C-alpha cells in the first residue's frame, strides 16, 4: 500500500476517534471510519489524485475529499488540530480498551481526568468508576471483566493481528545492538488460527537492554512481569506479549521449547528420557554426566533425538512424532508452490479495486494464473447481472494478452437453502471456474445442511466449495454438516474444498483439511481478496493447509495450468490417486 494512503487513513481514523470522544454525531464518526478503510484499501496512490479523484474513491465524499487534500498539501488538517487540542492524546487510547465505548471514554476523561489506559486500570483497581453518573458496581465490574478477558485469553487474538503485532515489536528488537536472533514462538509460530498470547524469543549475550527496550515500547499499557531474562507486557489493545532472552548458544533448544506445543514437547522429553538424556529449554543433556549434547539449532536437537526437523505447523502431537520416526513426515505445501489465486473479487461486486489493478497485483506476485470470481445475482446487494458477467468476461479476454498471466473468468455462486444455485447449467458452463458458497441460512439442521452442500458438490459445473463451514473466527460458529460425507462426495465428483486464507475465516481449518485429504478430496488455497493487500493473506491459508498436513499434490492451485484445467473440466476422470504423492 502506498505510504500516503496509510497516512491519510490514519488521519481519518484519528478524526473518527476524536469526534467520537468529543461527542460527535455517530453517523459522522462512521463516515470517517468508512473513509479510512476505503483509503487504506485503495490500490491507487492518493498522492496523485485531485479532489475529483479522491471523491471517486468509494465512501469518500466531497467533504472528506477536501479534508484529505488539505492533509496531503499541508500535512495537517485544521479541524483535526482543533479536535486534538480538545482531547489529550492518551484519552484516544482509551478507545482501545474493550468494553469502553467513546461515550464512556469521554466521561472518564471529563469526570475523573483519566488520560491513559494505565490510569484507567488504576481507577478500576481503586473502584473509582462506580461512582460516576450512570455507572454503578455492576458496570464497573463488567468493564473489569471485559478488560480481564481481553488480557487473559478469554478472548484469543486473531492470527493476522498477532503476526502483525509480533513483526512490529521484533523489528524494534532486531535493531538493538548485540541482538543475534529474534523471532516469534508459541502458537503463533505454529500458525494456530487464534493465539492466547504472543511469545517472543531473542538471542543475546546481554538481556538487560533488550528487556528495557521491550518494557518501554510505546504500545505497552502495563508491565506484568519484569525479570532478568523473561518479561511480560500488556499492550494497549489488551494483548499479552511474553519475551525471553536466551544465550545465543542455546537458541535452538529454547526455540524448540517455546514453540511447543506443550504436547509435542512432552513427547520429545519422553524420548530423551528413554535414551538416557534430559531435554529442556537450555539444551539436550546426558542424564548421567550433564554433558551438553545439542542446543544451538532446532535441527541439531531433533537430530540427536534421532528425528528429522519437524515443521512448527504440525507440532501438535497428532502423529507427527510417529511419522518422523518412520521417515514419513509429509512434504508440506509451501507458499512458493502456489501458482495462482482461485477466489477473488473486483469492484464489479464488493471488491474495492478494479479488475486491472487486481490482475496487475496478481502478476506482481509471480502468479501464473488468476481467477476472478465476483458474486452472482442471488446475493442481491451486489447487483450482479448476466450482462455484467458477460461484459466482464470480454474485458478479461481483452486484458489477458497484455497482462502476461492466464486469467480465469469465474463466479462465486450462492448455495441457496435448498442447494440450488444462481444461473442455469448452460450459462455456468461458460465460466472457466465456478466457486460456490453458503451466504445465508447458516442455522439449518445438520441433515438439511449436508444435503444442501452435497447438491452443490454434485453439480456438474461447481469446482470449489468456498469457505465451507462459513465460520467467522470472531463472530460466527461453523455450520453443522456431515463433513466426511461431503468430502467423500467431493473426492468422487472432482470438486475441491477451499482453504480460505482470510485470517478472519481460515476455513477449512487444519483438522478438516486433514479429514478432507483422508477422504481423497482436493483443496484450493484462496484468498477471497476484496482488495490488493488481501492477496498477501495467502500465507495464512498455506499455513492452515500445512496444519492439515497437506502437500502441494493435494492443492489444485499449485498445479500447472494444464492439469488445473483438466480438473476444472470436472467431467473428465479425476486425476489418478497415485499421481498425488
| CA 190 to each of CA 260, 290, 544, 551: distance values in angstroms, whole numbers, following the listed order | 8, 30, 10, 17
Residue 187 interacts with ligand DGT (CB under 6 A): yes or no: yes
Evaluated on CA atoms 414, 415, 418, 421, the torsion sign reads positive
Does residue 312 interact with ligand DGT by CB under 6 A? Answer: no
Residue 174 has a CB neighbour count (10 Å cut-off) of 13
- CA torsion sign for 234, 236, 239, 244 is negative
Q: Is 199 in the site for Ca ion (CB under 5 A)?
A: yes
User: Rule CB under 5 A: which of 235-264 touch Ca ion?
Assistant: 242
Q: Which does 412 bind (CB under 5 to 8 A by kind): Zn ion, ligand DGT, Ca ion, none?
A: Zn ion
For the segment 494-533, give every residue that binds ligand DGT (CB under 6 A): none
Of 17, 33, 197, 554, the residue at the interface with Ca ion (CB under 5 A) is 197
- Using the minimum distance from each CB to Ca ion, give the nearer residue, 186 or 340: 186
Q: Which is nearer to ligand DGT, 149 or 356 (CB)?
A: 149
Q: Scanning residues 370 to 429, which ones bind ligand DGT (CB under 6 A)?
A: none
For the record, the C-alpha cell of 495 comes out as 470438486
Shorter beta-carbon distance to Ca ion: residue 540 or 567: 540
- Exactly one of 265, 437, 463, 469 binds ligand DGT (CB under 6 A); that residue is 265
DSSP H or E segment with residue 110: helix 102-112
- State the Cα–Cα distance between residues 290 and 288, nearest whole angstrom: 6
Among 262, 383, 397, 563, binds ligand DGT (CB under 6 A): 262
**Contact of 480 with 449, CB cutoff 8 Å:** yes
Check binding of 197 to ligand DGT (CB under 6 A).
yes
- Which range, of 74-82, 96-104, 221-229, 256-264, touches ligand DGT by CB under 6 A? 256-264
Residue with C-alpha cell 484450493?
524
Positions that interact with Zn ion (CB under 5 A): 412, 528
What sign for the dihedral angle of Cα 144, 147, 152, 156?
Answer: positive
DSSP secondary structure, 287-324, as one string: TTT--EEE-S-HHHHHHHTT-----GGG-SSSSHHHHH
Contact between 186 and ligand DGT per CB under 6 A: yes
540 binds, among Zn ion, Ca ion, ligand DGT, none (CB under 5 to 8 A by kind): none
Residue 320 in contact with Ca ion, rule: CB under 5 A: no
Give yes or no for a cis peptide into 271 (omega within 30° of 0): no
CA–chain centroid gap for 553, Å, is 24
In order of 195, 439, 562, the CA distances from 318 in angstroms are: 19, 33, 35
SS3 call for 464 = strand
Nearest approach in angstroms of CB 149 to Ca ion is: 16
Q: Does 196 bind ligand DGT (CB under 6 A)?
A: yes
3-state helix, strand, coil in the chain (%, to 5): 50, 15, 35
Nearer to Ca ion, 260 or 419 (CB): 260
Q: Which of residues 140-169 bind ligand DGT (CB under 6 A)?
A: 153
Output the smallest distance, CB 48 to Zn ion, in A: 29
- Among Ca ion, Zn ion, ligand DGT, none, partner that 357 touches (CB below 5 to 8 angstroms by kind): none
Give the helix/strand (H/E) hosting 279.
strand 277-280
Residue number, 428 or 506, with CB nearest to ligand DGT: 506
Cβ atoms < 10 Å from Cβ of 413: 28
- Per CB under 6 A, the list member of 43, 260, 410, 470 interacting with ligand DGT is 260
Among positions 135, 251, 258, 423, the unique one binding ligand DGT when judged by CB under 6 A:
258
For 276, left (φ over 0), alpha (ψ -120 to 50), or beta? Answer: left
Residue nearest to Ca ion (CB): 186
- Give the residues lining the site for ligand DGT (CB under 6 A): 153, 186-187, 192, 195-197, 199, 257-258, 260-262, 265-266
Amino acid at each position: 500500500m502506498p505510504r500516503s494512503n496509510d497516512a491519510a487513513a490514519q488521519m481519518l481514523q484519528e478524526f473518527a476517534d476524536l469526534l467520537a470522544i468529543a461527542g460527535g454525531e455517530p453517523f459522522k464518526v462512521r463516515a470517517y471510519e468508512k473513509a479510512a478503510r476505503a483509503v487504506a484499501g485503495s490500490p491507487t496512490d492518493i498522492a496523485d489524485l485531485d479532489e475529483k479523484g479522491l471523491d471517486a474513491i468509494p465512501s469518500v465524499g466531497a467533504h472528506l475529499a477536501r479534508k484529505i487534500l488539505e492533509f496531503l498539501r499541508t500535512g495537517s488538517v485544521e479541524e483535526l488540530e482543533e479536535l486534538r487540542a480538545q482531547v489529550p492524546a492518551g484519552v484516544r487510547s482509551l478507545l482501545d480498551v474493550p468494553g469502553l465505548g467513546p461515550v464512556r471514554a469521554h466521561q472518564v476523561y471529563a469526570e475523573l481526568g483519566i488520560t491513559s489506559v494505565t490510569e484507567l486500570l488504576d481507577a478500576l483497581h481503586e473502584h473509582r468508576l462506580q461512582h460516576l453518573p450512570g455507572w454503578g458496581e455492576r458496570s464497573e465490574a463488567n468493564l473489569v471483566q471485559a478488560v480481564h478477558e481481553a488480557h487473559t485469553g478469554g478472548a484469543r487474538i486473531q492470527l493476522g493481528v498477532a503476526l502483525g503485532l509480533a513483526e512490529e515489536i521484533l523489528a524494534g528488537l532486531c535493531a538493538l545492538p548485540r541482538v543475534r536472533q529474534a523471532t516469534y514462538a508459541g502458537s503463533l509460530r505454529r500458525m494456530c488460527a487464534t493465539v492466547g498470547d504472543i511469545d517472543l524469543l531473542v538471542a543475546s549475550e546481554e538481556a538487560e537492554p533488550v528487556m528495557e527496550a521491550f518494557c518501554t515500547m510505546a504500545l505497552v499499557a502495563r508491565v506484568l512481569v519484569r525479570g532478568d531474562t523473561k518479561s511480560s507486557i500488556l499492550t494497549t489493545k489488551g494483548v499479552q506479549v511474553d519475551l525471553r532472552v536466551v544465550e545465543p548458544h542455546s537458541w535452538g533448544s529454547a526455540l524448540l521449547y517455546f514453540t511447543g506445543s506443550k504436547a509435542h514437547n512432552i513427547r520429545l522429553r519422553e524420548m530423551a528420557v528413554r535414551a538416557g538424556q534430559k531435554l529442556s529449554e537450555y539444551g539436550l543433556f546426558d542424564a548421567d554426566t550433564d554433558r551438553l549434547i545439542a542446543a544451538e539449532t532446532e535441527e541439531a536437537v531433533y537430530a540427536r533425538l534421532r528425528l528429522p526437523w519437524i515443521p512448527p505447523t504440525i507440532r501438535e502431537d497428532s502423529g507427527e512424532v510417529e511419522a518422523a520416526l518412520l521417515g514419513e513426515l509429509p512434504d508440506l505445501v509451501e507458499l512458493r508452490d502456489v501458482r495462482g489465486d482461485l477466489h477473488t473479487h473486483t469492484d464489479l461486486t464488493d471488491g474495492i479495486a478494479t479488475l486491472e489493478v487486481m490482475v496487475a497485483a496478481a502478476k506482481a506476485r509471480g502468479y501464473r494464473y488468476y481467477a476472478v470470481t465476483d458474486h452472482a445475482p442471488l446475493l442481491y446487494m451486489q447487483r450482479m447481472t448476466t450482462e455484467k458477467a458477460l461484459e466482464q468476461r470480454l474485458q478479461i479476454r481483452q486484458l489477458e494478452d497484455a497482462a502476461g498471466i492466464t486469467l480465469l473468468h469465474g463466479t462465486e455462486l450462492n448455495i441457496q437453502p435448498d442447494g440450488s444455485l444462481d444461473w442455469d447449467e448452460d450459462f455456468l458452463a461458460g465460466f472457466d471456474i465456478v466457486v460456490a458458497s453458503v451466504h445465508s441460512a447458516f442455522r439449518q439442521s445438520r441433515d438439511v445442511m449436508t444435503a444442501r452442500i452435497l447438491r452443490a458438490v454434485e453439480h456438474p459445473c461447481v469446482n470449489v466449495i468456498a469457505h465451507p463451514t462459513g465460520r467467522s473466527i470472531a463472530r460466527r460458529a461453523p455450520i453443522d454438516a456431515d463433513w466426511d460425507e461431503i468430502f467423500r462426495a467431493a473426492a468422487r465428483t472432482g470438486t475441491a474444498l477451499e482453504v480460505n486464507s482470510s485470517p478472519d475465516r481460515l476455513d477449512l481449518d487444519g483438522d478438516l483439511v486433514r479429514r478432507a485429504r483422508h477422504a481423497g478430496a482436493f483443496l484450493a488455497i484462496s484468498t477471497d481478496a476484496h482488495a490488493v493487500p488481501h492477496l498477501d493473506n495467502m500465507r495464512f491459508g498455506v499455513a492452515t493447509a500445512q496444519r492439515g498436513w497437506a502437500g502441494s499434490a493435494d492443492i489444485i492451485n499449485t498445479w500447472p495450468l494444464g492439469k488445473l484445467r483438466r480438473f476444472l473440466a470436472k467431467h473428465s476422470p479425476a486425476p489418478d490417486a497415485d499421481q498425488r504423492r
